[in-house]
Amino acid sequence: MSLAVAAEGVTRRFGRRWALRGVDLTVPRGAVVALLGANGTGKTTLLRLISTLLKPTAGRLEVLGHTLPAGGDEIRTGAAFMTAGGHAYEELTGVENLRFAARMSGTDATDDDLRDALAAFDLRGAADLPVRGWSTGMRKRLELARLRLRPLELVLLDEPFVSLDEDGVGLVHDAVRGWRDAGAAVVIASHRVEDASRHADDVVRLVGGRVDDVTA
């Protein structure tokens, strides 16, 4: 089975702080991997490295068949990274936020596609309201809706369950299953063990920037 992510000895330091020290990680295509660990153990840094936002200080990182730093655009086309803080413009409505994302990623999404994506996460009623007035949970759903705009080979989710209600958590699980069934790899970084491991084929635990323990 080909690999979506293959990391060998990946290291990243910020000044004197070592965020990751020699992390090995393999994520097969069509697999779900849960990345567990307390805050500040390097989960987000690892996702940022895989998403090409950061360059590793040392180590080899292969994503979707491209060994970084080569193939950045191909990786960014096939992969999506949902950050914990989200990426939404307050003054724009839900539809407008999605339209911006679609234009930036070069997908031909019609207005109906955008509204369907919002509807899939129970945001139909808020589609034309500025994000400014939205609740945290609604913003999280908007992030998930954005991921539905284009076909993905690799999905990186940073704390996807935070600030979602029970229905929302269910929607994340449905989405993860959907991606996996479509052959995409999913990496879920979370400190919520139960939810993150629900569909996980692999659980990776990070402690102090190192891989602690791998269980199949």
Binding site for other proteins (CB under 8 A): 14-18, 40, 51-55, 73-74, 76-77, 80-81, 83, 85-92, 96, 100-101, 103-106, 130
Strands (E), the chain: 3-14, 17-28, 32-36, 58-63, 66-67, 79-82, 154-158, 185-190, 202-207, 210-215
Tell whether the torsion through CA atoms of 74, 78, 81 and 86 is positive or negative.
Answer: positive
To other proteins, the closest distance from the beta carbon of 153 in angstroms equals 13
**Residue with smaller CB distance to other proteins, 14 or 124:** 14
To other proteins, the closest distance from the beta carbon of 194 in angstroms equals 26
**Residue with smaller CB distance to other proteins, 136 or 167:** 136
To other proteins, the closest distance from the beta carbon of 169 in angstroms equals 22
**Residue with smaller CB distance to other proteins, 20 or 31:** 20
Please check whether residue 203 is in contact with residue 191, taking contact to mean a CB–CB distance below 8 angstroms: no
Spatial distance between the Cα atoms of 46 and 44, rounded to a whole number of angstroms: 5
Vertex 192: Cα angle to 75 and 206 (nearest 5): 60
Please check whether residue 95 is in contact with residue 127, taking contact to mean a CB–CB distance below 8 angstroms: yes
To other proteins, the closest distance from the beta carbon of 186 in angstroms equals 17
To other proteins, the closest distance from the beta carbon of 83 in angstroms equals 6
**Residue with smaller CB distance to other proteins, 81 or 121:** 81
**Residue with smaller CB distance to other proteins, 39 or 215:** 39
